[in-house]
Amino acid sequence: MCDGTLIPPLHGLVLVEYIHRLVAFLASVLIPVNAIRMWWVHRGDRLVRRLSILSFFFLATQVVLGALIVVLVLPGAFTTIDVGNSMILLGVLAAMTAVGWREHRQLKTANLEQDLATRANDAKPFRKPVLWATATIFVQALIGGFFRHGGYSEALYGQNAYLLSHHQHVMPNLTVSIFLLILHVGFTALVTGAVAWVVIVSAKQGKYRGLSIALVGLLFYQIVLGIITLQTKLSVISDTLHFAGATALVTVVAYFLALVLLDLASVRVKVREKREKALVAAHS
């Protein structure tokens, strides 16, 4: 149901909400299908099983949060939890993609053990910078989400349309709004520093260059869209593109982190698999 009918008038914001719900329905079908398939194909992989369970869990949480927000008309700031959960879900899906790519890569590698050892050694310098980049980008997304969905960004321009849609009639405090804007902009410096750290390590090591370039490109995009969004007083198009950029940034850095951690753990996993096979052979 949308706007009180199964197929609402397809215009304006009702159309946007209707598309959102249709896409959400598709996601609620495709994510479980993907999880079940990954579980079945990688039955012996504990990591895949755990990621599949997590994708189910965070999807279910997303559905419940969305329903609570709509049915109970919860305060706008509550939507930040919804945003945070969706970002974690994206991170889990990115990790599952990284696992699939790792297997595809290993199938095409002739000397697998040597390749695993080399990749593990190459990944070591990236662990801290990529972890830091992931943490700062995720926190920045939460700050931006709270700034927007708490109505504080609109309050800067004397607007209150978003909070009115949540049946909130009190305008947020302007001082708090300015503080959150400064915090959001200031935190960008931390994100920039983290991404710069990743790029420096990538340039020195000559590894993960594509992902490092993607992070720089998305960060630049976000900064530009953030400025445009403020200059246009939160126009729907620029605001939406800014949020889309945040989503893309979280997804890319989560995929990057998953690849680094997988490369670091690959040798250890291979040794464990050999040990398990040796034990089975000894007892057979």
pLDDT: which is higher, 4 or 175: 175
170 or 141: which carries more pLDDT confidence? 141
All residues at 6 or more sequence positions from 208 whose CB lies less than 8 Å from its CB, including other chains: 126, 198, 202, 256, 259, 260
What is the rounded average pLDDT of the residues 25-37?
Answer: 93
Query: Which pLDDT tens digit goes with each residue over 191-244?
Result: 999 999 999 999 999 999 999 999 999 999 999 999 999 999 999 899 999 999
DSSP string, 129-171: HHHHHHHHHHHHHHHHHHHHHTTHHHHTTT--HHHHHTT--SP
Q: Which amino acid is at 67?
A: A
Asked whether residue 278 carries a pLDDT value surpassing 70, the answer given is: no
Q: Specify the higher pLDDT residue, 133 or 39.
A: 133
How do the domains of the chain map onto residue ranges? 118-282
When the pLDDT of each residue in the chain is averaged and rounded to a whole number, the result is 88
Tell me the three state secondary structure of residue 110: coil
pLDDT band at 22 (very low <50, low <70, confident <90, very high): confident
Q: Above 90 in pLDDT, residue 21?
A: no
Q: What local confidence, expressed as pLDDT, does residue 45 receive?
A: 84
Residue 283 has pLDDT above 60, yes or no: no
On whether the CB atoms of residues 192 and 219 are closer than 8 A, the answer is yes
Indicate the pTM of the whole model.
0.88
Task: State mean pLDDT over 116-121.
Answer: 86
The whole-angstrom separation of Cα 50 and Cα 226 is 36
In the prediction, which pLDDT does 1 show? 44
DSSP state of 124: G
Do 255 and 98 touch, CB atoms closer than 8 A? Answer: yes
Give the tens place of pLDDT for each residue, 152-197.
Answer: 999 999 998 888 888 888 889 999 999 999 999 999 999 999 999 9
pLDDT tens digits, one per residue of 90-102: 999 999 999 988 8
What integer is the mean pLDDT of 9-18?
68
Is the per-residue pLDDT at 280 higher than 50? no
Q: State the pLDDT confidence band at 41, using cuts at 50, 70 and 90.
A: confident
Taking only the tens place, the pLDDT of each residue in 57-97 is 999 999 999 889 988 888 988 999 999 999 999 999 999 99
**Percent of the chain scored above 70 by pLDDT?**
89
